[in-house]
Structure 1
Amino acid sequence: MTAQLPEPSPRPAAPSELRASHDDREAVVERLRDAAAEGRIDLDELDARLEQALTSKTYAELAVLTADLPQLNSSENRPPLVLKGGMNGASRGPGRWEVPGRVIAHGGWGGVKLDFSRVRCRLTEIAVEAYGEAAGVTVVIPDAWAADTSGMDPGIGGLTDRTTPDRLPGTPLIRLTGSGGVSGVVIRHPSRWERRKLRSNPTDQI
């Protein structure tokens, strides 16, 4: 009797073979429209590429549609975004906003909330300096993003990291530094209530 060999386990999918999301397709659609407006592709080619973008299933299928287009100016060249909680607090997001390579948040007396839930960001890494001070800083990142908090000083208020390490290829890493101050710094994925709000406003923009 011949011993049966165990069946080989499926190999992990390569990053380019991973399934693209609606947001991934929309980002390519926007890039193609920009390229047409810049005169890089004509309207017939735009229509053909848009049709392919909307039916693409993987990152690889999307990548070929913009492979011959120049890279956009990096958001790393933008000046840092500085948010100060002051007396009344400050926030950015959850609408779509332009993300620079560096963000500085001072909780002050009113607190700061920095929400990346709806942003479309081509950066591989975003540096966030958070200083909890008297009222604290909250950072919200999409499920596909990850955070490195090893450079953070928890201070008196502490650091609360509720993110998961599961980062999808092509998504940014939040590199969090700074100090928790008196009230601390929290970094997390969207809460249940925030998820319901996102689902009920799928095209919400600022």
Structure 2
Amino acid sequence: MTAQPPEPFPRPVHPGDLRASHDDREAVVEQLRDAAAEGRIDFDELDARLEQALKSKTHAELAVLTADLPRVESAESRPPLVLKGGLHGASRGPGRWEVPGRVIAHGGMGGVKVDFTRAECRLTEVAVEAYGETAGVTIVIPDGWVADTGGMDPGFGGLTDKTTPDRLAGTPLIRLTGSGGIAGVVIRHPNRWERRKMHSNPTQDR
């Protein structure tokens, strides 16, 4: 038999030559629109760049369109938000805050409440780790957001899921994991008192 020549190693692909996804193009479109709103590029240039962004097939082609714009930190790249109840409790919200890709809540002895009702979230999915421990964790999400609690260990305190499965277009999925601990974890939509407070103060900040 005639020996076959060894197959050549595959040619390394430069990162810029990688194919762009729909999400990659959409992220550039959003960055360009923000830049126009800030006055960094005019609207004629915005239209031209948007058209090119939607036609781009590689990361390199997309990179050219934002090379002269400030880099924007994405929510996915931000460090996780960590809340520890300790002795006195901890909370985030209901004021305005920007949601990172991951939230970790330890109920401790004082309890933790994470309120997403006025949060700014540009993600399609948020990972939330909740550990009820001694005092429990309460998570409040707006109407239209949904939760996946399949990865949650109820522990002794249990998991109480009062959310509805009706997801509105463009809203994130809360993927809940962790353990109920002794006191348990509750995830729900706003209650009557919280709704009344939102209606009475619709522009509440942080």
TM-score norm. by structure 2 comes to: 0.70
* SS of residue matched to 1:104: strand
Q: Compute the displacement of 1:73 (Å).
A: 4.1
* Contact 1:104–1:130 under 8 Å retained in 2: yes
* Contact 1:74–1:123 under 8 Å retained in 2: no
Structure 2 spans left out of the alignment, 5+ residues: 1-29, 55-64
Cα distance, 1:72–1:172 mapped onto 2, change above 3 Å: farther
* SS of residue matched to 2:157: coil
Q: Match for 2:42: what amino acid?
A: I
* CA deviations over 1:21-56 (Å, ceiling 9, x no partner): xxxxxxx9xx966533251236x999xxxxxxxxxx
Q: Compute the displacement of 1:120 (Å).
A: 1.9
Q: Compute the displacement of 1:144 (Å).
A: 1.0
Q: Compute the displacement of 1:119 (Å).
A: 1.1
Q: Compute the displacement of 1:177 (Å).
A: 0.1
Q: Name the residue aligned to 1:77.
A: 77
* Contact 1:89–1:109 under 8 Å retained in 2: yes
Q: Compute the displacement of 1:72 (Å).
A: 5.8
* Contact 1:128–1:174 under 8 Å retained in 2: yes
Q: Match for 1:160: what amino acid?
A: T
Q: Quote the Cα distance in structure 2 between the aligned partners of 1:74 and 1:32.
A: 15
Cα distance, 1:81–1:194 mapped onto 2, change above 3 Å: same
Q: Name the residue aligned to 1:192.
A: 192
Cα RMSD, aligned residues only: 2.9
Q: Match for 2:190: what amino acid?
A: P
Q: Match for 2:160: what amino acid?
A: T
Q: Quote the Cα distance in structure 2 between the aligned partners of 1:159 and 1:39.
A: 48
* Contact 1:93–1:118 under 8 Å retained in 2: yes
* CA deviations over 1:32-88 (Å, ceiling 9, x no partner): 66533251236x999xxxxxxxxxxxxxxxxx9xx8x97964201100010000000
Q: Name the residue aligned to 1:89.
A: 89
Structure 1 spans left out of the alignment, 5+ residues: 1-27, 47-63
* SS of residue matched to 2:128: strand
What percent identity do the matched residue pairs reach? 72
For this pair of structures, how many residues does the alignment match? 160
Q: Quote the Cα distance in structure 2 between the aligned partners of 1:41 and 1:89.
A: 48
Q: Name the residue aligned to 2:156.
A: 156
TM-score norm. by structure 1 comes to: 0.70
Q: Match for 1:123: what amino acid?
A: L
* SS of residue matched to 2:76: helix
Q: Which has the larger radius of gyration?
A: 2
* SS of residue matched to 1:110: coil
* SS of residue matched to 1:75: coil
* Contact 1:82–1:104 under 8 Å retained in 2: yes
- Corresponding position: 1:37 with 2:38: yes
Q: Name the residue aligned to 2:147.
A: 147
Q: Quote the Cα distance in structure 2 between the aligned partners of 1:72 and 1:172.
A: 20
Q: Match for 1:82: what amino acid?
A: V
Q: Compute the displacement of 1:98 (Å).
A: 1.2
Q: Match for 1:39: what amino acid?
A: R
Runs of 4+ in 1 over 6 A off after TM superposition: none
* CA deviations over 1:122-144 (Å, ceiling 9, x no partner): 10000000000000000000001
